[in-house]
């Protein structure tokens, strides 16, 4: 089956590189000229040359002729991208490769695809992975979630490579939530480390953050085992412990009271606000999410956010 990746950020480019070691892949980019000439993404993934089977194009009509289309654009831009290119995408098998919750609607990638592309078959690829690692051929395992089990099996076979091992599930809600919510916890962990609160505080935030992830997942009818898998716990561990994570780096900037590059996409910032609004609406107790939303919206600083968590009523675990 032919494969195209739409979006040439670090993750999209890395997926295209890995998949092109297995067979032909089209990589769509708004400005493909420099990459086509250099045969690498010098801006996002310098030093990771393109395989011969990777073809770069600016022509969306050409790229979307593929049987399987992976879309690697930021979550908050997904709806606009799908709407703009619906004529090329509707009726296709579409795999979202973004992690987050849409700020305006509170929806995840699968729901956004279903709303904008009535005849598309949606899926999501998520889990513990940094683009630089994938592009360099380092191994990882990811979750491929598709409500149609037979389509999921086909995609699992087509997208597994020598360094990407895919596990499949039909629990698209759980896969979406794991990938989105771990970014919020990563911001909190980065803030704790940036403020010098120590490794023990980070471990506590990861643990209680995971409890919040499970609480919301249960409320939204996701499967508990999904949150304990690669798309939940696995991605949480990676994102909360590495400065490669943009979410973690944003948290560090909060904790150190330093400026952060506003042009850098940090999916957890919008997700924290969206999930905090959802929690308030539905009466859910998500205190870490609320604290991160306060940081993002400049309503709290790190000391006051930590105080709000540490002075909560004592309870059983």
Rg (alpha carbons) of the chain, rounded to whole number:
19
What is the spatial distance between Cα 95 and Cα 147, in angstroms, rounded to a whole number?
A: 12
The catalytically annotated residue of 22, 182, 221, 307 is: 182
Give backbone dihedrals phi and psi of 291, rounded to 5 degrees, phi first: -65, -40
Has 99 been annotated as catalytic?
no
Give 216's strand partners: none
- What DSSP state is assigned to residue 232? I
Q: Cα(160)–Cα(167) distance, rounded to whole angstroms?
A: 9
From the centroid of its chain, how far is CA 34? 26
Q: Which residues contact 154 (CB under 8 A, 6 or more apart)?
A: 1
265 φψ region: left (φ > 0), alpha (ψ -120 to 50), beta (else)? beta
The torsion defined by the Cα of 49, 9, 178 and 262, in degrees rounded to 10, comes to: 130
Cite the active site residues: 182
């Amino acid at each position: 089956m032919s494969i195209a990746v739409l979006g040439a950020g670090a993750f999209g480019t890395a997926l295209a590189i890995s998949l092109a070691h297995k067979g032909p892949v089209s990589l769509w980019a708004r400005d493909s000229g420099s990459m086509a000439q250099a045969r690498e993404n010098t801006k996002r993934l310098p030093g990771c040359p393109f395989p011969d089977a990777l073809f770069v194009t600016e022509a969306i009509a050409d790229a979307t002729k593929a049987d399987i289309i992976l879309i690697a654009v930021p979550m908050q831009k997904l709806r606009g991208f799908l709407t703009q290119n619906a004529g090329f995408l509707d009726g296709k098998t579409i795999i979202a490769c973004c992690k987050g919750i849409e700020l305006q609607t509170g929806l995840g990638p699968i729901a956004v695809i279903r709303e904008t592309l009535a005849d598309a078959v949606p899926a999501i690829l998520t889990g513990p992975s940094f683009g630089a690692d994938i592009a360099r051929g380092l191994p990882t395992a990811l979750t491929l979630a598709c409500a149609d089990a037979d389509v999921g099996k086909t995609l699992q076979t087509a997208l597994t490579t020598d360094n990407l091992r895919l596990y499949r599930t039909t629990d698209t809600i759980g896969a979406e939530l794991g990938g989105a919510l771990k970014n919020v916890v990563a911001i909190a962990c980065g803030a704790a480390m940036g403020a010098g609160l120590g490794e023990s505080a980070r471990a506590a935030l990861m643990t209680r953050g995971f409890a919040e992830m499970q609480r919301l997942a249960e409320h939204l009818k996701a499967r508990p085992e999904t949150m304990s898998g690669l798309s939940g716990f696995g991605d949480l561990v990676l994102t909360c412990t590495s400065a490669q994570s943009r979410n973690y780096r944003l948290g560090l900037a909060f904790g150190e009271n330093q400026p952060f590059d506003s042009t850098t996409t940090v999916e957890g910032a919008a997700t924290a606000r969206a999930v905090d609004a959802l929690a308030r609406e539905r009466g859910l107790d998500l205190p870490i999410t609320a604290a991160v939303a306060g940081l993002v919206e400049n309503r709290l600083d790190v000391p006051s956010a930590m105080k709000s968590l540490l002075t909560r009523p004592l309870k059983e675990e």
